[in-house]
Amino acid sequence: MAAKISKENFLTEIRLTYAEWQALISQIKPQEMNEPLQPGGWTLKDVIAHISWHEREMLEVIRSRALVGSELWELPTDERNAVIYEIYRPQPIHLVLVEATKSHADLVPALETLSDDELNDASHFVNMPPDWIPGELIASNTSEHYREHTPEVQAWLANKS
């Protein structure tokens, strides 16, 4: 059985990983955020928009205390990510950055409304499978997500030097 998630530790982890993510991307000029991180791959702008989309989805889950969200969740991960990429690809970087800042700023107060019990027990969320752990779902779309994309940005930065 997994250890219980404490709200205090959960919030600390999200704040810490987000601060690390922000410190990393703040090293990059906005105009450079349109350069591919890997040949033929996503740009940093694409990654930021992708992460922001996931944060907004978690915001709705938290606010409604229900497993709600985009129909894109019904797609396999790679297909869902491809659709998210196509949706946000035409947006200019300044709008992506504004939306990313807003999505996270909205997310944190919503997270603060969750109790330890809600983070650990799916029965507090309508339509959430009983074997799911809400805190794990949220973490996979926030703190774990920031860390997932960090190495590719670090490698890109190292190659620019």
> Which pLDDT tens digit goes with each residue over 83-142?
999 999 999 999 999 999 999 999 999 999 999 999 999 999 999 999 999 999 999 999
Q: In the predicted model, what is the mean pLDDT of residues 20-32?
A: 96
Of 66, 45, 52, 75, the closest CA to residue 137 belongs to 66
Distance CA(79)–CA(76), nearest Å, equals 5
Q: In the predicted model, what is the mean pLDDT of residues 64-93?
A: 96
Q: Which long-range contacts (CB under 8 A, 24 or more apart) does 39-43 make?
A: 42/85
Q: Which residues, 6 or more positions from 99, have their beta carbon under 8 angstroms from its beta carbon? A: 49, 52
Distance CA(142)–CA(19), nearest Å, equals 12
CB 7 within 8 A of CB 116: yes
Q: Which residues, 6 or more positions from 37, have their beta carbon under 8 angstroms from its beta carbon? A: 43, 44, 47, 152, 153, 155, 156
Residue 161 has pLDDT above 80, yes or no: no
Distance CA(69)–CA(48), nearest Å, equals 19
